[in-house]
Structure formats: C-alpha cells, structure tokens
C-alpha cells in the first residue's frame, strides 16, 4: 500500500518594507493512506482521480461518484527536490515508495513521488484569494503569525483569520516591487518575491 500525505497550506517567509529578513516555517499537514490499486499506467497519474476520506485517499475512476479530486501534475521524488505544482493546485499528495501486488510498470514498486491535486468541485483553496493551497500566489491574502512568518487566509474575510495583506504582484527582486509595497512575501518559482499591500 502506498502512503500519501496531503499538504494543504503553506507558511511563507515575510518581511516589512523596512528590509527585515524573512523566515519560513512548516504548516500542518494531514496524513492519509493511498490504495495503490490503480486505473491507469501510473498510480495517480495526470488526469486520474482520487477519492476523499477521513483515513485514506484511493485512486478511483473519474466517472465514479466517489471521485473528489483530479491529478493536474505528477512527479517522482520529493517535493523539495522536484518541479513546483501548478499555481492553482488545491493540495499535494505525497506518495511513499511501496512494493504492492500491483504497480505501473511491473517492477514490483510504486516509486516515491507527489501528485498535485485539484478538487473536482468548488471551493478551490488554491485559487487566488482562496485561503489555502500549497503555493502562495498573486491575489492571495496573508496575515502575520509572528516570528517573521505569514500564512494564507481567505481574502473575503470568511476564514478563521482576517486578511492583513494582499499579494499584488510577483517579481524577481525586492527592488522591482512598487514603492507602495508594505510587505515582501517569499513565493518561490520564477518570480520569488511577492509585493504585498495592506487590505
């Protein structure tokens, strides 16, 4: 059986416009078990679907009434060493290496990897302003947690925490942010600096 961990939200480094350095931290994650019986050539391959459950994620046919999320990207290895998920990914399933009775290429293993997942129905926490997802992107809102960190929250104010800043743009360097920037948020990717303004 392959073990999957769903990463739902991220904590990002932040710093005020005065130039204080940012810090990053980890967020809560929930562990789920994924049944390695698959429907395609690759366990949880691109365009395949998973069910949701309180104790496990199982690969299911996308036409099944149990289907809850679709794989939008799938990579081998660790998230920290591989390509980033698409910007509007809702959550990430981490798949541990296993040796099940079934596997995609007949070698007796399902390799360690991760699947970038998009829920089949709204709400989508990975959308701009949605208040979650594994990546912080332009249009998202954040609040300060102390210790030089910020976390995403819903821009509509319906989340547990009120939004304090909205990320208005993403740039390569802090100096590329507009003068009105009140907070710099570490985003990663090709444009790793988020220029945030108060909301």
> pLDDT tens across 50-86, in order?
998 656 678 899 999 999 999 999 999 988 888 989 9
Q: Can you give the pLDDT at residue 98?
A: 60
**Residue 93's closest CA among 115, 67, 77?**
115
Q: Can you give the pLDDT at residue 19?
A: 38
Residue 100 has pLDDT above 60, yes or no: no
Q: Can you give the pLDDT at residue 36?
A: 47
- 97 — pLDDT class (breaks 50, 70, 90): low
Residue 181 has pLDDT above 90, yes or no: yes
Rounded to 5 degrees, what are φ and ψ at 47? 75, 5
- 190 — pLDDT class (breaks 50, 70, 90): confident
Which residues are 56's β-sheet partners?
Answer: 33
- 142 — pLDDT class (breaks 50, 70, 90): very high
Q: Can you give the pLDDT at residue 58?
A: 83
Total residue length of the chain: 199
- 189 — pLDDT class (breaks 50, 70, 90): confident
């Amino acid at each position: 059986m392959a073990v999957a961990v769903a990463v739902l939200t991220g904590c990002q480094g932040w710093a005020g416009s005065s130039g204080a350095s940012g810090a990053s931290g980890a967020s809560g994650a929930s562990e789920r078990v994924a049944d390695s019986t698959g429907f395609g050539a690759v366990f949880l391959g691109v365009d395949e679907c998973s069910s949701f459950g309180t104790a496990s994620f199982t690969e299911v046919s996308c036409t099944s009434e149990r289907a809850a999320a679709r794989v939008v990207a799938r990579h081998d290895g660790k998230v920290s060493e591989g390509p980033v998920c698409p910007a509007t990914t809702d959550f990430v399933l981490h798949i541990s290496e296993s040796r099940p009775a079934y596997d995609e290429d007949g070698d007796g293993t399902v390799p360690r990897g991760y699947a970038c997942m998009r829920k089949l129905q709204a709400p989508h926490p990975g959308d701009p302003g949605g208040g979650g997802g594994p990546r912080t992107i332009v249009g998202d809102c954040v609040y300060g947690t102390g210790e030089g960190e910020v976390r995403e929250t819903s821009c509509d104010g319906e989340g547990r925490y009120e939004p304090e800043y909205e990320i208005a743009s993403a740039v390569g360097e802090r100096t590329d942010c507009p003068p009105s920037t009140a907070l710099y948020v570490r985003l990663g990717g090709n444009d790793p600096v988020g220029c945030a303004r108060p909301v």
